[in-house]
């Protein structure tokens, strides 16, 4: 399956039909998704109609958007007008969106073909995303909560997909399935029309095969939205300009505390090799310390627990048994957290932000492992999976900084991932560092055995 950038170039040259590309994606869904279970809804008729319109626009010589004719999927938290947004829960049974989410609208304007909705862990409150399986090994999980988006994109059942990230839910599944996952700066991409988990921690972003593809989607969906109270009115940067200009002289911070503790041996080796590649590309590796980062997971757990309990307060009171046991227990626990603990978590969150600001005053980008382990076995208890997978991603949610997961190797046949994070609203530098790494490696070209 082609990457977004490859397919886009061929479509613009008139050498690839958006209709045939969409048909091939739908055929792959039909062939492989019985095993993966990554989709909750496939928009076959609508997708083909959009593809025909995209093809007609090429024939007419119309001006084309960055994603013209590209089949993409949406995590089942994003509203699509006239379609259900179930958020993986019986609580939302019968819910039909009245209008598109802001991101859905922008993807349409960029010319994307929307092929369907993907599985999410219920209300994005977990990292398992059952029943979806990891295409690299069907006996392992794809991670979450954007696990359906990751499995679909990794297996070529779309060319890219949208996810959300509250404690790592874009980067975790990207890391476990060998994808690129981008969590933009908090407030950079509108969350209007996306079912919330935690108002102050939720981010929207893409999962793709390559950094260039992530940049194409990000460029298409970023911008100020006055209808989203968390949207930040910050000038939109052209992250595509200079994306391939290299990283000679870039200062990359390697934390001496927290992030490299207790890694699986294969993960540690792959990430160290990735750092060596960055150094060979001309970057200067600098040891840094990120003060107060050690409390990140506790801080994020407290904030998410309280905010999610408030969002679900009415439904938890009137229909608790429509939630899965795992989600119900998390929401109930969140409702029991005292206000003083929430205020303390918000205070400690400011310390985490200051700690990253201190580290990033010395360097341009910080590099860490995305995850301490490879994909856990299918059937792992959700609390155990959460503890194992969010430790290295949640600090970037607390800080609200742009963070990118990039595949950097394999351990025991499963993907390993490098995490790159940068200053607020400096997605361009983070993406440039990721692109420089992918120019010198081929991990992103590997395909899961399921799809071969």
- Asked whether the beta carbons of 181 and 389 are under 8 A apart, the reply is no
pLDDT at 450: 79
pLDDT at 425: 98
Residue at token pair 């911070």: 253
Q: State how far the Cα of 437 lies from the Cα of 179, in Å rounded to an integer.
A: 14
Structural domain spans, the chain:
4-293+343-451
Q: State how far the Cα of 64 lies from the Cα of 213, in Å rounded to an integer.
A: 16
Burial of 405 (0-12, 13-18, 19+ CB in 10 A): buried
Question: What residue ranges of the chain have pLDDT lower than 50?
Answer: none
- Asked whether the beta carbons of 438 and 444 are under 8 A apart, the reply is yes
Q: State how far the Cα of 218 lies from the Cα of 228, in Å rounded to an integer.
A: 17
Q: State how far the Cα of 38 lies from the Cα of 132, in Å rounded to an integer.
A: 5
Report cis status (omega within 30 of 0) of the bond before 245.
no
User: What single DSSP character describes residue 27?
Assistant: H
Q: State how far the Cα of 152 lies from the Cα of 164, in Å rounded to an integer.
A: 15
| Annotated active-site residue in 75, 83, 117, 191 | 75
| Annotated active-site residue in 5, 8, 17, 145 | 145
- Asked whether the beta carbons of 311 and 304 are under 8 A apart, the reply is no
75 is catalytic: yes
| Annotated active-site residue in 5, 129, 169, 198 | 169
pLDDT at 173: 98
Cβ neighbours around 292 below 10 Å, total = 21
Q: Name the CATH topology of 4-293+343-451.
A: Amidase signature (AS) enzymes (3.90.1300)
Non-local CB neighbours of 120 within 8 Å, separated by 6+ positions? 75, 76, 77, 87, 88, 129, 144, 145, 146, 147, 148, 164
Per-residue DSSP letters for 78-142? Answer: B--TTSB--TT-GGGTT-B-SS--HHHHHHHHTT-EEEEEE--SGGG--S--TT--BTTBTTB--
Residue at token pair 């999410």: 120
What is the Rg, in whole angstroms, of the alpha carbon atoms belonging to the chain? Answer: 20
417 is catalytic: no
169 is catalytic: yes
- Asked whether the beta carbons of 391 and 399 are under 8 A apart, the reply is no
Residues 257-316 have pLDDT tens digits of 999 999 999 999 999 999 999 999 999 999 999 999 999 999 999 999 999 999 999 999
pLDDT at 452: 62
- Asked whether the beta carbons of 218 and 425 are under 8 A apart, the reply is no
pLDDT at 451: 73
């Amino acid at each position: 399956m082609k990457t977004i950038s490859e397919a886009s170039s061929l479509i613009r040259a008139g050498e690839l039909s958006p209709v045939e590309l969409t048909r091939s994606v739908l055929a792959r869904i039909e062939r492989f998704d019985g095993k993966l279970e990554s989709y909750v809804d496939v928009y076959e008729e609508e997708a083909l109609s959009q593809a025909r319109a995209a093809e007609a626009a090429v024939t007419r010589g119309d001006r084309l958007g960055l994603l013209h004719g590209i089949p993409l999927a949406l995590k089942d938290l994003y509203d699509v007008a006239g379609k259900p947004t179930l958020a993986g829960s019986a609580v939302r049974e019968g819910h039909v969106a009245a209008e598109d989410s802001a991101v859905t609208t922008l993807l349409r304007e960029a010319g994307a073909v929307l092929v369907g909705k993907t599985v999410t862990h219920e209300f994005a409150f977990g990292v398992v995303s059952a029943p979806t399986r990891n295409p690299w090994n069907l006996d392992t999980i794809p991670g979450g909560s954007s696990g359906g988006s990751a499995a679909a994109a990794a297996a070529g059942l779309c060319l890219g997909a949208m996810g959300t990230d509250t404690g790592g839910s874009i980067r975790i599944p990207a890391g476990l399935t060998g994808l690129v996952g981008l969590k933009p700066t908090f407030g950079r991409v509108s969350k209007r029309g996306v079912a919330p988990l935690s108002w102050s921690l939720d981010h929207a972003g893409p999962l793709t095969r390559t950094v260039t593809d992530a940049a194409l989607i990000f460029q298409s969906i970023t911008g100020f939205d006055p209808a989203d109270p968390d949207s930040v009115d910050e000038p939109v940067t052209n992250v595509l300009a200079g994306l391939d200009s290299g990283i000679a002289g870039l200062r990359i911070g390697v934390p001496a505390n927290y992030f490299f503790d207790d890694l699986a041996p294969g993960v540690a080796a792959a990430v160290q090799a990735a750092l060596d590649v960055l150094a060979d590309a001309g970057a200067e590796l600098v040891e840094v310390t990120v003060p107060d980062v050690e409390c990140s997971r506790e801080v994020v757990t407290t904030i998410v627990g309280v905010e999610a309990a408030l969002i679900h307060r009415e439904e938890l009171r009137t229909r608790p048994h429509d939630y899965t046991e795992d989600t119900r227990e998390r929401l109930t626990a969140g409702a029991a957290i005292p206000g003083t603990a929430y205020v303390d978590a918000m205070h400690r969150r400011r310390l985490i932000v200051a700690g990253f600001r201190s580290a990033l005053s010395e360097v341009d980008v910080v590099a860490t492992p995305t995850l301490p382990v490879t994909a856990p076995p299918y059937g792992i208890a959700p609390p155990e999976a959460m503890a194992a997978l969010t430790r290295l991603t949640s600090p970037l949610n607390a800080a609200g900084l742009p963070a990118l997961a990039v595949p950097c190797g394999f351990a025991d046949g499963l993907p390993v991932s490098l995490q790159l994070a940068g200053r607020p609203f400096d997605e361009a530098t983070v993406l440039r560092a990721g692109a420089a790494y992918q120019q010198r490696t081929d991990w992103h070209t590997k395909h899961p055995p399921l799809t071969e």
